[in-house]
Chains A and B, each alone.
Chain A
Amino acid sequence: MAALCVEELLARAEQRAAEPHPSVAVEKELELEFDLGNLLALDRNVPPSMPRAAGAQRESRLRSLARDNTQLLVAQLWGLPAERAEGATGPLVAQLPEPSYRLPREKPLPRPRPPTRWEQFARLKGIRRRKRTSLVWDEAAKQWRRRWGYERAGGDPARDWLIEVPAGADPNEDQFAKRLREKREKVARNEFNRLRNIARGALPGRGLHPTGHQSRAELGRATQVARVSTASLGRFQPRLPKEPPAPPPRGGKKRHFEPLLGDLAAERSRQLELLRGLGSKKPPLDLTRAVNKQLREEDAQAAADKGKKRGQRGKRGRQRPGGGKGKKGGARRQQQRRPAGRKRS
């Protein structure tokens, strides 16, 4: 009995193998890579080369290659966890995994808004945001009203028909106009601060990729980097047509030492000078400081004069000494230049 069963089974299996149902098996040298989230398959096998194949032959070959690859992709998709949508009779719906093939973003990563100046200050001082209710009780209207905006509690101050003149204020001043002006100033200041916060938050340079508008400073930096990016660190790089001349090389001067043997007289005088400085009780005259002091005094004097002049408005033309000031300014400029020169040498 058992033997018969086995024979039967074998016969059935043979029959099934002989049936016209085509197989779904595909042979590939290298396995395909799949990204099922994108319904994507990557076949790394070398496709059969056919440089001289005619159109129809090539098409059939391409189609058979595509069929094999699609078969493999479909097998993967059918292997995904699936369920019937809308009950037992609905279509079979497979759940796709997240796409794994990395593609570039469309826009850069969102950046958090930089804190405003007030937020920075509040953080420094430990001031916490206090939540205020939007509705407040209006005693006059006997109902809850908004704190701000349309139909606000206590009435809109801009719509007052009567304003008390404050004590000590000019009675002829228009209080309505004053209120309006203050409001406008407040709005303008807020807008200015908002723009300033944006400007502060803008980062100087976002890498070296092209941005829409590069500032003069950014472009200058870029040219500087490009200049020294040669094999010889920009030594033989010619200047561009309208480029300003190169700044003097930075990094200080080299020290020069006097020769050990040489001008004996000079050495003697130098040593004597040093000894005299050490021996004397008088503080040495610091020329730079002295000049600076003199300049400050002159400035203070000039400022005082100017203040006086403002006080006596209208008499400017008569009071002014003719041409004296210009000369004085010129002298000062010369003085300024001299100490700076000394420092450098």
Chain B
Amino acid sequence: MWDHDAGFWFEAKPSGLQKPKTKRAKRFLEKREPKLTENTKNAILIKGGNANLTVTETLKDIVSILLEIHKNITRPFEDQTSLEFFSKKSDCSLFLFGSHNKKRPNNLIIGRMFDYHVLDMIELGIEKFVSLKDIKNSKCPEGTKPMLIFAGDTFDLNEEYRRLKSLLIDFFRGPTVPTIRLAGLEYVLHFTAMDGKIYMRSYKVLLKKSRCKIPRIELEEMGPSLDLVMRRTHLASEDLYKLSLKQPKALKPKKKKNISHDVFGTSYGRIHMQKQDLSKLQTRKMKGLKKRPAAKMTEEDEGISPKKLKSV
């Protein structure tokens, strides 16, 4: 496969066996290795061999938010190998596959990979689709980090819906950023699960003045909006999912020793001190306890003599 970033042909082989011949190739391979803090996940959007207008438009609209489009004929639920192959070649761990046939009309498959193998895969049927173009009003610029909202108890009660929620967050959350411009929050993706359907709506946010610091929010439908039904699912086994959730130890915050907190948030610390010399403790000054000059002298002499010896 020809890689545009690296600009050379590369062959996927087990890591380490193939020794890169140039520095550039080495950098390229290093970029794809597992890392402590991972890159932002990339997504491939695949148009199946028989995708109709609705599916194509949906994919195109999602591309306008996200990434590129490929064209290929696969059936992910029957054979995952070609999907895994493409994921490995393009280093993408998320995929959205669209197809249409008589048995499963207007089909979308959303999924993700772990270690270049399919982890989760959920098939969604599009019941209603309103494109970006169908709604005539102002849009927000491409690549805006969306606010994600999930409404409905089903997203918590049902295991499949819980995974779907996690998948959708993974798919749409974009890069992790340390700061955000507050006035730039202008895009909301709202997922509602009710009556056995999932309503995906995207709105443009209008920040209006209010009496307090927080602005009053008004929403304007922007598109794409989808009514989805869940079809087949392929979920990772519990232990594999757990493995994929594992966090590296190096990233965990180090526990501070000797500091504990109680329920009210008060912190308690334990300090280790040396034994106090009570002979030097300053007590109440009284005339009777005052050292006489003569006694002071002798004491000082005794104290000083070893020092003198040392210096000699």
Taking a contact as CB atoms under 8 Å apart, the answer to whether B239 and A43 are in contact is no
In the complex, chain A residues 91-115 whose Cβ is within 8 Å of any chain B Cβ = 91-96, 99, 101-111
Q: Is A82 an interface residue (CB 8 A)?
A: yes
Residue among B16, B166, B176 facing the most chain A CB atoms (10 A cut-off): B16
Stretch of A70-78, A138-146, A148-156, A256-264 at the chain-chain interface? A70-78
Q: Is A69 an interface residue (CB 8 A)?
A: yes
Taking a contact as CB atoms under 8 Å apart, the answer to whether B194 and A49 are in contact is yes
Taking a contact as CB atoms under 8 Å apart, the answer to whether B212 and A24 are in contact is yes
Taking a contact as CB atoms under 8 Å apart, the answer to whether B214 and A74 are in contact is yes
Contact residues in B for A78 (Cβ distance below 8 Å): 182, 213-215
Complex Cα spacing A59 to B221, Å? 9
Complex Cα spacing A203 to B115, Å? 16
Contact residues in A for B248 (Cβ distance below 8 Å): 109-110
Min distance, Cβ A196 to any Cβ of chain B, angstroms? 12
Q: Is A37 an interface residue (CB 8 A)?
A: yes
Contact residues in B for A45 (Cβ distance below 8 Å): 151, 153
Taking a contact as CB atoms under 8 Å apart, the answer to whether B182 and A93 are in contact is yes
Taking a contact as CB atoms under 8 Å apart, the answer to whether B41 and A208 are in contact is no
Taking a contact as CB atoms under 8 Å apart, the answer to whether B151 and A94 are in contact is no
Partner of A107, one of B38, B152, B153, B210: B38
Encode contact with A along B90-117: 1 for CB under 8 Å, 0 otherwise.
0001000000000000000000111111
Taking a contact as CB atoms under 8 Å apart, the answer to whether A62 and B199 are in contact is yes
Taking a contact as CB atoms under 8 Å apart, the answer to whether A74 and B215 are in contact is yes
Complex Cα spacing A207 to B184, Å? 45
Taking a contact as CB atoms under 8 Å apart, the answer to whether B180 and A94 are in contact is yes
Taking a contact as CB atoms under 8 Å apart, the answer to whether B183 and A73 are in contact is no
Residue among A39, A42, A108 facing the most chain B CB atoms (10 A cut-off): A39
Complex Cα spacing A37 to B188, Å? 15
Encode contact with A along B211-253: 1 for CB under 8 Å, 0 otherwise.
1111111110100000000000000010111011110100000
Chain A residue with Cβ nearest B91: A106
Contact residues in A for B153 (Cβ distance below 8 Å): 44-46
Stretch of B141-149, B259-267, B283-291, B299-307 at the chain-chain interface? B141-149
Partner of B246, one of A67, A109, A212: A109
Complex Cα spacing A77 to B183, Å? 11
Contact residues in B for A302 (Cβ distance below 8 Å): none
Taking a contact as CB atoms under 8 Å apart, the answer to whether B201 and A24 are in contact is no
Contact residues in B for A276 (Cβ distance below 8 Å): none
Min distance, Cβ B87 to any Cβ of chain A, angstroms? 10
Contact residues in A for B177 (Cβ distance below 8 Å): 96
Chain A residue with Cβ nearest B32: A107
Stretch of A15-23, A237-245, A330-338 at the chain-chain interface? A15-23
Known: A40-B173, A73-B147, A210-B117. A24 touches B188 (CB 8 A): no
Taking a contact as CB atoms under 8 Å apart, the answer to whether B194 and A104 are in contact is no
Q: Is A180 an interface residue (CB 8 A)?
A: no
Chain B residue with Cβ nearest A107: B34
Known: A70-B217, A77-B185. A208 touches B239 (CB 8 A): yes
Contact residues in A for B181 (Cβ distance below 8 Å): 85, 91-94
Min distance, Cβ A116 to any Cβ of chain B, angstroms? 12
Chain B residue with Cβ nearest A83: B179
Taking a contact as CB atoms under 8 Å apart, the answer to whether B145 and A39 are in contact is yes
In the complex, chain B residues 30-49 whose Cβ is within 8 Å of any chain A Cβ = 33-36, 38-39, 41
Min distance, Cβ B31 to any Cβ of chain A, angstroms? 12
Taking a contact as CB atoms under 8 Å apart, the answer to whether A39 and B219 are in contact is no
Contact residues in A for B116 (Cβ distance below 8 Å): 212
Taking a contact as CB atoms under 8 Å apart, the answer to whether B148 and A39 are in contact is yes
Q: Is A329 an interface residue (CB 8 A)?
A: no
Known: A47-B194, A66-B203, A92-B183. A41 touches B114 (CB 8 A): no
Known: A63-B201, A63-B219, A78-B213. A39 touches B147 (CB 8 A): yes
Chain B residue with Cβ nearest A111: B34
Partner of A91, one of B183, B214, B217: B183
Complex Cα spacing A50 to B218, Å? 23
Q: Is B205 an interface residue (CB 8 A)?
A: yes
Complex Cα spacing A67 to B114, Å? 35
Complex Cα spacing A37 to B205, Å? 19
Residue among A47, A66, A209 facing the most chain B CB atoms (10 A cut-off): A66
Known: A44-B156, A62-B190. A70 touches B149 (CB 8 A): yes
Chain B residue with Cβ nearest A17: B211
Complex Cα spacing A101 to B113, Å? 18
Q: Is B150 an interface residue (CB 8 A)?
A: yes
Taking a contact as CB atoms under 8 Å apart, the answer to whether A70 and B188 are in contact is yes
Complex Cα spacing A21 to B215, Å? 10
Contact residues in B for A9 (Cβ distance below 8 Å): none
Complex Cα spacing A270 to B214, Å? 103
Q: Is A233 an interface residue (CB 8 A)?
A: no
Partner of B239, one of A94, A96, A207: A207
Q: Is B192 an interface residue (CB 8 A)?
A: yes
Complex Cα spacing A210 to B183, Å? 46
Taking a contact as CB atoms under 8 Å apart, the answer to whether A50 and B151 are in contact is no
Q: Is A51 an interface residue (CB 8 A)?
A: yes
Contact residues in A for B245 (Cβ distance below 8 Å): 102-105
Taking a contact as CB atoms under 8 Å apart, the answer to whether B34 and A108 are in contact is yes
Min distance, Cβ B184 to any Cβ of chain A, angstroms? 8
In the complex, chain A residues 254-304 whose Cβ is within 8 Å of any chain B Cβ = none
In the complex, chain B residues 116-174 whose Cβ is within 8 Å of any chain A Cβ = 116-117, 119, 145-153, 155-156, 165-166, 169-170, 173
Chain A to chain B contacts (Cβ below 8 Å), 14 pairs: A23-B216, A38-B148, A39-B148, A41-B149, A43-B151, A63-B201, A73-B147, A74-B217, A78-B182, A107-B33, A107-B34, A109-B248, A209-B117, A209-B243
A interface residues (Cβ-Cβ under 8 A, vs B): 16, 19, 21-24, 37-47, 49-51, 59, 62-63, 65-67, 69-71, 73-75, 77-78, 82, 85, 91-96, 99, 101-111, 194-195, 198, 207-212
Nearest 9 Cβ contacts at the A-B interface = A104-B244, A107-B34, A66-B190, A43-B151, A106-B93, A110-B34, A39-B147, A71-B217, A69-B149
